């Protein structure tokens, strides 16, 4: 599961901690998803996309293995 979280964070100029705060998870969770250590839940993916003012599909992309 690819994502553009790092880029979208840069657009908003917010830290991983700030994003974590806004979607109510820990900073480590944001870090893990951003580095693609695992894929988020649908709830979290929707919250993250919402912070960025984007659709889920604009932030997250399915890969072959998914």
Neighbours of 8 (CB within 10 A): 19
* Residue 27 in contact with DNA, rule: CB under 7 A: yes
Q: Which does 57 bind (CB under 5 to 8 A by kind): a second copy, DNA, none?
A: a second copy
- Selected from 7, 11, 12, 35, the binder of DNA by CB under 7 A is 35
CB of 47 to a second copy, least distance (A): 7
Residue 3 · residue 30 · CB < 8 Å: no
User: CB-based contacts of 17: which residues, under 8 Å, 6+ apart?
Assistant: 27, 30
Binding-site ranges for DNA (CB under 7 A): 9, 15-18, 24-29, 31-35, 38-41, 43-44
């Amino acid at each position: 599961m690819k994502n553009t979280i790092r880029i979208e964070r840069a657009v908003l100029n917010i830290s991983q901690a700030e994003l974590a705060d806004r979607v109510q998870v820990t900073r480590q969770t944001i870090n893990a998803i951003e580095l693609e250590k695992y894929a988020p839940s649908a709830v979290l993916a929707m919250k993250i996309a919402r912070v960025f003012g984007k659709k889920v599909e604009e932030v997250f992309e399915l890969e072959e293995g998914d």
